[in-house]
């Protein structure tokens, strides 16, 4: 079930009314309703997925009890290892089986040995990367003593399958979200209105920006052999904003819907594309995943409390695995590795860059320096997303090769400059609609950079707040890409 579908528009009010007006006096019934609603929501894609999430939830519920009740460290560690093997085993089999088999066959082909692939094709369950990491955090936090195992199966199953954030996050820690299922919830008008603000802004980013950009991005990336220079740059920039608006839009809607039911989820994006360094950007982009890898992989490896070269290894490995987490394709592995390299180089060259800024007097103009740093950071990040979006590594290297080609010719005249735009955008009117929507989004994103959309709107006068609501709704209805609802990009991960 998609947030941007008619089905969800019908589904959400029904669950909301039952939750707050029919069974609001019983916490156990509210949790049971969330569990049932979540399974309906998830099973809407394919009912066969329900068996996997049920098995994963049941296993971790039992293992959590075992870890908590274990009398010695060895037993606790063995139970934790069983949870890790189970969750990563399920994730590895369903997500990476075909990837590793294909890679294995290709490797032998290099040496002239032809292998035949079997007939087993694995269907990727929606959201498996998200809920396996969420249940893993439960087992790990119990092992570390940060959380007590719950004896309430309904609350735990509802926590794992909580429909607002089930298929694309934010990836919540058990110690933060699970206690909310065990505590009586009271309806708050202000909390609900706050949720509706986030839902509105999330829908704007998804339907007006991301879905409208998608068709132009697809034109270039589906036929990379036909496009050069500015065309590749346009598509790459468009995809960077598409994936940001698509994924952050989903996160906003998920957080907003959760607030309607009295739950607080973590912020997943904080206007990352205005970051002035790669380090800052990764502190603002997909925060729930970045912090998960930080706490459960990077810090256990030694974090930054080791030598410089070991730190570099820790960073590179964390980002490489993060890239692989995104999908069974070498393009994701390269994307993750490249961002790890960015961070390492940024750290090693900090002193030299500061000296350069002082030499060319940029430190005398801090605002200009900030803008230059933001532009450089964006270009590096966008380049990595060109590889991320490519369907194969062959396409990725083809796009990299085509990027500088014909660029000088295109920039040497106005006519040459306009040709790439005309090859992607079907009309001037269509481009002007998209451009005006993008400018509106860009201005709002700058305006809310410090405090977020919810806090910003809450702290202006009621008149202007209402005016902004109507303006965004009107723009959404007029410029939104409606019709067949488009899935969120991160559903494939």
Q: Name 109's Cβ contacts closer than 8 Å, sequence gap at least 6.
A: 115
Please tell me whether the peptide bond between 79 and the residue prior to it is cis, using omega within 30 degrees of 0.
Answer: no
d(C-alpha 32, C-alpha 260), whole Å: 17
pLDDT confidence of residue 387: 96
pTM higher than 0.95: no
Whose structure tokens read 């706050």?
194
Question: Please, how many CA atoms are within 13 Å of residue 94, restricted to the half-sphere of its CB?
Answer: 20
Tell me the DSSP string of 371-401: HHHHHHHHHHHHHHHHHHHSSSHHHHHHHHH
Classify residue 97 as exposed, middle or buried by CB count within 10 Å of its CB (0-12, 13-18, 19+): middle
- How distant, in Å, are the alpha carbons of 224, 306, 394, 398, 421 from that of 232? 8, 41, 15, 11, 11
The pLDDT, as a whole number, for residue 102 is 58
Nearest to 391 by CA among 230, 212, 223: 223
DSSP codes joined into one string, 138-176: HHHHHHHTSSPPPS-HHHHHHHHH-GGGTTT-----HHH
Residues in the chain: 493
- pLDDT at residue 450 in the model: 83
**175, 208, 470 from 480: Cα distances, Å:** 38, 4, 15
Q: How far apart are CA 19 and CA 187, in angstroms?
A: 10
- Cα-to-chain-centroid distance, residue 78: 32
Ranges of residues in the chain with a pLDDT under 50 are 119-120
What is the spatial distance between Cα 26 and Cα 19, in angstroms, rounded to a whole number? 10
The answer to whether 416 and 410 are in contact (CB under 8 A) is yes
Residue 127 · residue 169 · CB < 8 Å: no
Contact 314, 306 (CB under 8 A): yes
Rg of the chain over all Cα atoms, to the nearest angstrom: 24
Task: Choose among 144, 209, 210: nearest CA to 174.
Answer: 144
Q: How far are the Cα atoms of 131, 155, 444 from residue 52, in angstroms, in the given order?
A: 11, 18, 41
Residue 121 and residue 98 in contact, taking contact as beta carbons nearer than 8 Å: yes
Residue 491 is given by DSSP the state G
Is 446 within 8 Å of 492 (Cβ atoms)?
no
What is the number of H-type helices and E-type strands within the chain? 22, 0
**Within 10 Å of residue 160's Cβ, how many Cβ atoms?**
24
Q: Which 8-state DSSP code applies to residue 486?
A: P
What is the structure's pLDDT at 109? 56
**How much is the pLDDT for 116?**
56
Per-residue confidence (pLDDT) for residue 98, from 0 to 100: 65
Which among 374, 378, 13, 444 has a CA at the least distance from the CA of 208?
Answer: 444
Burial class (CB in 10 A: 0-12, 13-18, 19+), 110: exposed
d(CA 387, CA 399): 8
Q: How far apart are CA 106 and CA 148, in angstroms?
A: 47
**How far apart are alpha carbons 264 and 340 in whole angstroms?**
31
- Catalytic residue IDs: 326
* Structure confidence at residue 388 (pLDDT): 96
Nearest CA to 180 out of 292, 387, 27, 391 is that of 27
């Amino acid at each position: 079930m998609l947030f941007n579908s008619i089905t969800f528009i019908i589904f959400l009010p029904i669950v909301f009314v039952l939750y707050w007006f029919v069974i609001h006096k019983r916490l156990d019934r509210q949790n049971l309703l969330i569990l049932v609603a979540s399974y309906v929501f998830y099973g809407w894609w394919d009912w066969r997925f329900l068996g996997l999430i049920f098995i994963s939830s049941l296993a971790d519920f039992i293992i959590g009890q075992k870890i908590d009740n274990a009398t010695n460290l060895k037993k606790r560690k063995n139970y934790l290892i069983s949870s890790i093997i189970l969750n990563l085993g399920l994730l590895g089999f369903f997500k990476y089986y075909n990837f590793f088999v294909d890679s294995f066959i290709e490797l032998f082909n290099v040496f002239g040995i032809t292998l035949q692939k079997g007939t087993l094709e694995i269907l990727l369950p929606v959201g498996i990367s998200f809920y396996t990491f969420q249940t893993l955090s439960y087992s790990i936090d119990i092992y570390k003593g940060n959380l007590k195992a719950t004896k309430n199966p309904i609350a735990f199953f509802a926590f794992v399958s909580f429909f607002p954030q089930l298929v694309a996050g934010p990836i919540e820690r058990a110690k933060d979200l699970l206690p909310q299922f065990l505590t009586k919830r009271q309806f708050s008008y202000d909390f609900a209105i706050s949720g509706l603000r986030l839902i509105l802004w999330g829908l704007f980013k998804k339907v007006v920006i991301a879905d409208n950009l998608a068709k132009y991005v697809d034109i270039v990336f589906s036929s990379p052999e036909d496009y050069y220079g500015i065309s590749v740059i346009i598509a790459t920039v468009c995809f960077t904003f598409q994936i940001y608006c698509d994924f952050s839009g989903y996160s906003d809607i998920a957080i907003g819907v959760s607030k309607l039911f009295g739950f607080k989820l973590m912020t997943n994006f904080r206007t990352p594309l205005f970051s002035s360094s790669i380090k800052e950007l990764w502190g603002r982009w997909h925060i729930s995943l970045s912090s998960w890898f930080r706490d459960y992989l990077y810090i256990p490896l030694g974090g930054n409390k080791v030598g410089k070269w070991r730190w570099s290894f820790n960073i590179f490995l964390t980002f490489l695995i993060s890239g692989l987490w995104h999908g069974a394709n070498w393009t994701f592995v390269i994307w993750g590795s490249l961002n790890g390299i960015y961070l390492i180089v940024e750290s090693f060259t900090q002193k030299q860059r500061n000296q350069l800024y002082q030499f060319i007097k940029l430190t005398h103009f801090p605002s200009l320096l900030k803008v230059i740093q933001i532009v450089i950071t964006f270009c590096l990040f966008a380049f990595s997303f060109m590889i991320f979006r490519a369907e194969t590594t062959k396409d990725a290297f083809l796009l990299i090769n085509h990027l500088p080609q014909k660029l000088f010719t295109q920039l040497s005249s106005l006519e040459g400059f306009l040709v790439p735009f005309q090859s992607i955008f079907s009309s001037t009117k269509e481009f002007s609609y998209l451009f005006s929507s993008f400018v509106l989004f860009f201005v709002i994103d700058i305006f809310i950079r410090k405090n977020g959309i919810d806090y910003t709107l809450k702290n202006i006068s009621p008149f202007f707040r209402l005016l902004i609501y109507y303006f965004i709704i009107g723009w959404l209805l007029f410029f939104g890409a409606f019709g067949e609802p488009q899935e969120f990009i991160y559903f494939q991960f």
